[in-house]
Amino acid sequence: DQQVKQNSPSLSVQEGRISILNCDYTNSMFDYFLWYKKYPAEGPTFLISISSIKDKNEDGRFTVFLNKSAKHLSLHIVPSQPGDSAVYFCAASPKRSNYQLIWGAGTKLIIKP
């Protein structure tokens, strides 16, 4: 049973436009959410996170939105750059856990010049 779902295996966006990556979760016990970026043959890199007490968190070109009622979060990248082409993973952490992350399957983002 996939508790964290990234339903789009891939997404193609024009350079300079907005990239929106989506993630859905089923477990209401999740209270912390993270996004990671991964290039081929490298380890994932932490991008941005959000606590369930917030609905938005920004860091430069990256913004994460959390809709708890819909159990949905999204990562917005504005403007998209060629270096953003990578696989993006969404992960969630249950309450009172400081070790466990539940991972989505990833979305491959392709930025077209």
Between CA 81 and CA 111 the distance in angstroms is 7
Binding test (CB under 8 A) with other proteins, winner from 23, 85, 104, 109? 104
Residue 42 near other proteins by CB under 8 A? yes
Q: Minimum Å distance from CB 83 to other proteins? A: 18
Binding test (CB under 8 A) with other proteins, winner from 11, 20, 101, 110? 101
Q: Minimum Å distance from CB 60 to other proteins? A: 17
Residue 69 near other proteins by CB under 8 A? no
Residue 99 near other proteins by CB under 8 A? yes
Q: How many CA atoms does the CB half-sphere of 34 hold within 13 Å? A: 14
Q: Minimum Å distance from CB 97 to other proteins? A: 8
DSSP conformational letter for 16:
T
Please report the DSSP string for 21-48 in residue order.
Answer: EEEEE--TTEEEEEEEEE-TTS--EEEE
Which amino acid is present at 97? S
